[in-house]
Structure 1
């Protein structure tokens, strides 16, 4: 199962085990059971602190295995072969079971330990999902800290009947005590706050007591992270407010146009951005979302967060990025996560062997169609215009996919379903005016981005697409407020461009402070 190089790397981590751990296996005669058995045997062979025993209890998912310390009944179970993106989750679960201390915020760890009640988590994931490990690792950590919490990690590809029965068509999908709890990527603190509702009000009061910042950055993607780094290096008191650390790069599996890197994993790049930021001691406030901003009579900017907290700063940098643009047609909201998806890497495996559609003919749409063609029975790409707009190299790759079809000049009018899952797409052939229905199990929407600038409404000049208008120095229409990245009207939404714009915004803020203080 594990090659020599992987075993060598794994042994480095297993040497850090504090107390002995045990794998309790619940297998059947499937190939998946055989592969799990090989993985566990290879792993146990690398450390004398690991043992493997059979678990013959009734009612267990098979194949699956649990991980626990020999002196504790930690409730972590993998109904999955934890390879691919989840191999790191497997390693962390072993370390946590052995008593190896977590590097998470001690305040968050203490909150987890004191949660009261019974929490039975089930998280459905796919091994190709780059967003799933964050949720899996958060929930397994919680189960290692609190005996009232159990976490079962389920590979949707292994338990297809259960996936269908529970209408799981997007991952990660988390159930709590049998009921839907959350879907999509979440940070550990977000999950804890969802369970501990009283914390938000307590935390808001504490945040409002923070002293005035020299520079406060809204957003922690490429632009926001770079702005924070440049500001902190100037010796300025710098803070960063972000809904999620790393920004939208977390939703990109492979980045192949980042100079000096032939290919880099999006979430890994996002994590690297934040390690750099935190190395300068930047005050990081996350998860948090700016609701509105206003200039006060004393010349400061006051930022009100959705939680009710208020922060004050001498200069402000908006780098809130963008989010996936939605179709805005009937049925989209009804079947989101039930056939309507936005991430082919995460949710694509749930449509293995099925007919799907991709809506959008730009780079993202064509890349999605290429990826899906490798696992789905058929892929139909619907493009609004008379030609694809993706790079030529991508168009050639798509043309080589025998199970992919492109339909041009289409206008999607609605997404239809049976009340539980998506069944088709209604669209108009703009050439003939004819209304048509395409029967599909999944629709992947890839029609570009919409800027996250609601916080700037009524305060800053925005263009027709709600992008913040900036000049060559990233100055906005308001004094001491700068903006950078995908939320602005700067053309070409690319990571390398956002990095440069973030640096310019911070340098402009520094220049403003020099001239006005």
Structure 2
């Protein structure tokens, strides 16, 4: 296979950054997949005198590891690391050569302190925009600690393995042969699962913050930037940097940017945050907030952070339909991300629950892979924009069912059927599907605030025009609030409003 000019131009720049010689230790056969991997490796090796190829035998063919001469890095790729995984390949190449990973020193120390062998395997699809975060995180852990190894497995080339292990969602991570994690994970989350949580003692020396932002999505990022630019002591408690936007592939309504993608946008936001002196505490979840002499935010590990003002920007998550089978078959046919998991359902019949923009975009996307797509909408008509409905109507392998109330998702060890009730006739119908994608809107992440902050009937935080809540000095922004519209751009705006409101409060106090 030949790499296109744009990729080769990009590669040329990166290969010039190699710190030392590297070896592709490749296990290849004579099959078509091996031929593609061989051509990929040979083309790259020809571009740099620092790269050589060595034939080896491995448990998977085709596969290759990236090593220094005479050393094993523990990083391997089974299949072709193209698509979204091309960046994972480039970063692994650079890091094995000696370029240090860009993670903070405290995190590096935690990774290096692991004193037991850990072998991770991550199953991915090349269209999954969440998979690279997991692959790159585990590769970094392998680079920093010789006891850790990691193999990325591309599902398209190892479909028998995918089917045998009944993997129906990506990324899915196995640790020492046992399923370890599924879905988008940060390096902090993976490390916590593998080595245990951070200690509350790690937070004992934190100073009193002027502003503490809870949340790392568009609202939280905007709030942190606006606060830090005022020159005040700003902190962020972040469970997952990027929030829900990390699961949004195409963004075409960010003013001034005709097209971008969620992960790319939030990487830019994080880079912007890092331009300022913001104390970002990743992989941490807040469990309580209270006001004494100052505002106290308690984390799940027991640490208590103190601040003069706080901005709650905890965002929202996909809403569940709460029917029998939904929880039981999550990642076994029940999915929420068509871009990530769609390729696993190629040639199969699937259902999409939800007739809004997200649901119809998912149906259009899945129609290009699935044998047939059923769209189930609870109301008498679809709610999606007309342009999306018109596009949907051109697809021959899509059936739209309105007035459909999902009753049950059933199967053995994976989804096999969905039962719904026609709300007009009360008739009950069953669809033979192997995948159910649920896209019916969002729920605010506010459960931990119910006894502290005034919420509306939808459990959204009630705020005024300054972003202030009912607690003095506590502000809120984004999808967790009672804002009328839930858009990235409105979340960013509300984050700025809350930060300015918090700053004004500090001046007046």
Give the TM-score normalised by the residue count of structure 2: 0.98
- Residue in 2 that maps onto 1:281: 277
Is the partner of 1:269 in helix, strand or coil?
Answer: helix
Are 2:439 and 1:446 aligned? yes
Q: Deviations over 1:311-367 (max 9, x none)?
A: 111111111110000111111111000000000000111111111110000000000
Could you report, residue by residue, the CA deviation over 1:237-285 in whole angstroms, capped at 9, with x for unpaired residues? Answer: 1111111112111111111111111110110101111111121111101
For residues 111 and 501 of structure 1, what CA distance do their matches in structure 2 show?
35
Q: Alignment partner of 1:415: what SS?
A: strand
Candidates 407, 418, 425, aligned match of 2:418: 425
Which residue of structure 2 lines up, in the alignment, with residue 200 of structure 1?
198
Q: Deviations over 1:364-397 (max 9, x none)?
A: 0000000000011111000000000001111111
- Equivalent-residue separation in structure 1 for 2:246 and 2:173 (angstroms): 19
Q: Pick which of 357-366 and 208-217 moved more.
A: 208-217
Per the alignment, residue 65 of structure 2 pairs with 66
Show structure 2 runs of 5+ residues with no match. Answer: none
Residue 25 of structure 2 corresponds to 24
Instruction: State the Cα distance separating 1:510 from its structure 2 match.
Output: 0.8
Point out the more displaced range, 25-34 or 173-182. 25-34
Distance (whole Å) between structure 1 residues aligned to residue 504 and residue 52 of structure 2? 61
Aligned to 2:170: 171
Distance 1:392 1:464 in 2: 30
**1:405 corresponds to which residue?**
399
8 A contact 1:331–1:415 mirrored in 2: yes
**Residues in 2 aligned to 1:250 and 1:449: alpha-carbon distance in whole angstroms:** 14
**Displacement, 1:189?**
2.1
Are positions 1:322 and 2:285 aligned together? no
Aligned to 1:234: 230
Question: 2: distance between equivalents of 1:218 and 1:434?
Answer: 47
Within the candidate set 282, 306, 312, 1:312 is matched to 306
SS of aligned partner of 2:133: helix
1:35 aligns with 2:39: no
Whole-angstrom distance in 1 between the partners of 2:76 and 2:506: 54
Is 1:213 the counterpart of 2:209? The answer is: yes
Q: Distance in 2 between matches of 1:281 and 1:235?
A: 9
Cα pair 1:239 1:282 within 8 Å, conserved: yes
Q: Which residue, 453, 478, 482 being the options, matches 2:475?
A: 482
Pairwise CA distance, 1:160: 1.3
Question: Superposed, which structure 2 residues align to 1:324-343 within 5 Å?
Answer: 324-343=318-337
Given that 1:22 and 1:51 are in contact with CA atoms closer than 8 Å, whether structure 2 keeps it comes out as: yes
Shift of 1:5: 2.8
Instruction: Provide the residue aligned with 2:246 in structure 1.
Output: 250
Q: Secondary structure at the match of 1:66?
A: strand
Helix, strand or coil at the partner of 2:198: helix
Counterparts of 2:132 and 2:328 in 1: how far apart (Å)? 27
1:92 is matched with 91
Aligned mates of 2:152, 2:252 — CA distance in 1? 31
Deviation of 1:414 after TM superposition, in Å, equals: 1.2
Residue 138 of structure 1 deviates from its aligned partner by 1.1
More displaced stretch, 184-193 vs 319-328 = 184-193
Query: Does structure 2 conserve the Cα–Cα contact (< 8 Å) formed by 1:291 and 1:454?
Result: no
Q: Counterpart of 1:180? A: 179
Pairing 1:116–2:115 present: yes
Counterpart secondary structure, 1:357: strand
1:388 aligned residue: 382
CA distance in 1, matches of 2:475, 2:502: 7
- 3-state SS of paired residue (1:255): coil
Task: Provide the rounded CA distance (Å) in 2 between the counterparts of 1:380 and 1:87.
Answer: 33
The Cα RMSD (Å) is 1.2
- Aligned-pair CA distance for 1:49: 0.6
Counterpart of 2:488 in structure 1 is 495
In structure 1, stretches of 5+ residues that fail to align are none
Deviation sequence 1:209-247 (CA, Å, 0-9, x none): 311111111111111111111111111111111111121
Q: CA deviation at 1:36?
A: 1.2
What CA distance in whole angstroms lies between the structure 2 residues aligned with 1:491 and 1:244?
24
For each residue in 1:124-173, what CA deviation from the matched residue of structure 2 results, as whole angstroms up to 9, or x when unmatched? 01100000001001111222222222211111122111111111111110
108-117 vs 9-18, greater mean Cα deviation: 108-117
User: Contact 1:462/1:469 (CA < 8 Å) preserved in 2?
Assistant: yes
Asked whether the 8 Å contact 1:120–1:149 carries over to 2, the reply is yes
Query: 2:387 & 2:12 partners in 1: Cα distance?
Result: 41
Deviation at 1:206, TM superposition (A): 2.4
Query: Contact 1:361 / 1:382 at 8 angstroms: preserved in 2?
Result: yes
**Secondary structure, aligned partner of 2:160:** helix
* 1:82 paired residue number: 81
